Amino acid sequence: MNKPYIRVDSHVTEMTPYTEWMREIYMSRVDWSAQIVKEATIESLDSKAIKVARDGYKERFPNLSAECDKWSDEVFLDKAKLTINGQITRTALLLVGKEESASLLDNIAQIVWKCFQDGKVFGDIFTIPFVLSTTKVLNSIRNYRFKIYPQNSLIPAEIWKYDTNTILECMHNCIAHQDYLKNARIVVTEDSSQLTFENEGGFYEGSYEDYIMGLQTPKHYRNSFLAKAMVNVKMIDTQGYGIHTMFQKQRERFLPMPDYDDSTPSKVVLHLPGNIVDENYSKILMERQDLSLSEIVLLDRVQKHKSISVDAVSMLRKKKLIEGKKPNYYVAKLVAQNTNQKVEYSKHKGLDEKKCELMLVQSLHDHGSLTKREIVSLLRDLLPDQLSETQKETKVDNILRKMKKSGKIINQSAGNRSSWLLVK
């Protein structure tokens, strides 16, 4: 079922193993997105979606903005290449069609959003018009700010978990490049660390690595008519800059690079990270603005424990960006550049919990017992200086609770006095 076959003389052969043959046939086929839907009329389209598309058109072509305002919907749709001589195309239905008009497409035309949170799975299904539904998916995704502390600085950088334009870029690319002949859904999966975007149909021309630097321009599109319309209403870019922009946005936010590693010849899978994998990687991106995007992509592979070439290893070592021995390379830790910075950095970072525990054990060994107030006084200067007094007390409480649970210390009370002692 739903498998491609080819007939050669009297023989019928399944084409799935012959990806290059399939690619050639697909590239030479009729553009599905340009076909006229005879049953559809202007009444099959959503007026709100048309307005959003019109606004995008005016952003794309600002010199036509005043003129665009005077056009009727029928004229605008033809100008934007959504319709052909007033006739409704599949592209028009996908982008600005009413939800109830989806049945006219002979395609499922849906975006599924799935979210995994705290062991639970929930989500929603969105259909046409895609010019509106991608924003609805965007608004469903949990997005929030978190802090990264730069090297030698007490002031954190606050960044969003995801860049909203990047999320839209990812979904719009799925819509533009989906193989609609496979009648499949676009799937957006959200978990605690990343977003994953999946669409049917492999990379139509080249691979994603070809577009990271923004130097290659695609010559062909699977859905040429749809892609052109999406360009006209400012949903995508056709110069090959989409992937490049996504990588640049992650760089600017000091987060891991996107990757397409789970893609296959028949499906594109994009992972968009929304958290820190290696703190040293993020700090290098904050400190070293001179690094090229290609160097950052290599560092990203190192932090994700993926292989890189011998030449890449040599280059990164020479720049003191990685350490370790083959195959266990890791991103190098930045070192403060002068004495004042070193002192401030150490004060800012504080000692880790293990060292605080060792200090407390040694003090209890010396003195026999300590009150909570004495323990707070002992550890106060060892904790990160950006913590408030209340936060430091909470941190001490956590350390005491952890050490008590592990059987290292006990609490004894005598009247109103409570003391902590080592377990003998």
Tell me, yes or no, whether 249 and 295 share the same domain: no
Tell me, yes or no, whether 139 and 235 share the same domain: yes
Q: At 251, which CATH number?
A: 3.30.565.60
Q: How far apart are CA 4 and CA 268, in angstroms?
A: 19
Task: List Cβ neighbours of 421 (8 Å cut-off, separation of 6 or more).
Answer: 364, 368, 369, 409, 410, 411, 412
Tell me, yes or no, whether 230 and 377 share the same domain: no
Tell me, yes or no, whether 178 and 250 share the same domain: yes
Q: How far apart are CA 94 and CA 109, in angstroms?
A: 7
Q: Which of 231, 247, 277 is the last residue of a domain?
A: 277
Tell me, yes or no, whether 187 and 143 share the same domain: yes
Out of 116-120, 232-236, 389-393, pick the least confident: 389-393
* Strands in 221-364 per DSSP E: 267-273, 322-325, 328-331
Tell me, yes or no, whether 207 and 138 share the same domain: yes
Tell me, yes or no, whether 263 and 158 share the same domain: yes
Beta bridge partners of 269: 198
Average pLDDT over residues 240-266: 90
- Could you give the number of structural domains in the chain? 4
Tell me, yes or no, whether 69 and 134 share the same domain: no
Asked if 257 contacts 296 with a C-beta cutoff of 8 angstroms, the reply is yes
- Name the strand (E) or helix (H) holding 310: helix 310-318
Tell me, yes or no, whether 318 and 375 share the same domain: no
Q: What is the pLDDT of residues 233-242, one digit of tens each?
A: 999 986 667 8
pLDDT higher than 50, residue 383? yes
- Name the strand (E) or helix (H) holding 69: helix 65-70
Asked if 116 contacts 189 with a C-beta cutoff of 8 angstroms, the reply is yes
Tell me, yes or no, whether 178 and 135 share the same domain: yes
Q: How far apart are CA 144 and CA 161, in angstroms?
A: 6
Question: Any idea which residue has 């280059």 for tokens?
Answer: 315
Q: What is the pLDDT of residues 322-351, one digit of tens each?
A: 998 888 899 988 754 444 445 554 554 556
* Single-letter amino acid, residue 220: H
Q: What is the pLDDT of residues 264-286, one digit of tens each?
A: 989 999 999 999 999 889 989 98
Task: List Cβ neighbours of 200 (8 Å cut-off, separation of 6 or more).
Answer: 178, 179, 182, 184, 266, 267
Q: What is the pLDDT of residues 71-101, one digit of tens each?
A: 999 999 999 999 999 999 999 999 999 999 9
Tell me, yes or no, whether 85 and 128 share the same domain: no
Q: Helix or strand or coil: residue 374?
A: helix
Q: Which of 345, 379, 398 is the last residue of a domain?
A: 345
Q: At 376, which CATH number?
A: 1.10.10.10
Tell me, yes or no, whether 140 and 247 share the same domain: yes
Domain hosting 71: range is 5-104
Q: Mind giving me the DSSP string for 111-178?
A: EEEEEEETTEEEEEEEES-HHHHHHHHHHHS---EEEEPPTT-SSPEEEESS-HHHHHHHHHHHHHH-
Q: Which of 330, 345, 360 is the last residue of a domain?
A: 345
* Single-letter amino acid, residue 289: Q
